[in-house]
Structure 1
Amino acid sequence: MIDKKSAGHYFSFNDTISYLTDFWRNQRIPTTITWRKRMTNREQVDLIYDAVKKINQAYEYWCAKNGVTLYEMQLYYIIKESGKESMTQKNLSEKLDAPKTSVNSIIKKQIEKGFVKMETNPLDRREKMLSLTQKGKDWAEKLVLPLFEFEENAVSSLKERNLQIAAKCQNEFADSLLAQIKQMTDGDL
């Protein structure tokens, strides 16, 4: 729970690392894997999902500390990461992998706060272009830039080979899972 004094305020790198360290110490998800007999397929699937869940929990923790939802943070994250001044609402929905109605609600909320502005695309009047106001740019820097630093520090603490193997395995799992689902549904996705 965030108290009103801390909601929406920037936390220093050391404060956040301390919070994250305390947070992970109290989790029931194992931080190390002890190999034993060959794991069942279900146990291997759970291992992948547990790792993804831990990553999501770190982002959710950051969001809670800053008084935003995960989707709100992702909106700023995507815009900052793109390096572009604006993007279409459709493109944002695709990058968020969220329903248009959910994205529209998030955008409206950010417009009301004065962080985002929406204009009609001059090249295609059916599209809406989103951009950050100066207030939104300032907020995005306080929200997202420290997160970029945390991610980069976390990645630099890993051996490059292990990171490559983990990413490769996760992508292979995702590709195989999607192929299986498409095959069983005759490609109706």
Structure 2
Amino acid sequence: MPTKSTRAKPKTGARATRRGKATARRPQDAIALLKADHREVKAMFEEFEKTEGDAEKQALAGRICAALKVHAQIEEEIFYPAAYEALEEDDLLDEAEVEHASAKDLIAQIEASSPSEPLYDAKVKVLGEYIDHHVQEEEKELFPECRDSDMDLKALGEQLRTRKAELAPQA
């Protein structure tokens, strides 16, 4: 029988996938919520690479763009201001804000075009590369600094979740 400390560890890999619905109902801290968004968008970019039909590409690119806009907005409105307050160095946050601006520009270009236009696929691919770079910096550098700070990540997680629900397009 597993010990209590074993059961308290965060679930990863296949176990997390099997139990995803149960895990999703538990309160997540801010970093866990943002990382879940990162994984979701990464999967959509990977799916886009395999998609062939114009209608399917446009629908998937629309989902990618919508998810990224909501994610960027909750980071900019809630997470980054809290991190600016808590962290001594703000270079990573400044870079993140600039990366968001670049991503928003590409998102606008993608939303204003269609898969039949030249460079559409390239724009989606480059957006994916921008996002991948941004995610790596957040997860390897910014998030560990936030964990080591006095940020109330559970309360921030609840604020992020509430704001995300307000912004998310209704299905």
TM-score, normalization by structure 2: 0.28
Larger radius of gyration: 1
* Larger helix fraction of residues: 2
TM-score, normalization by structure 1: 0.26
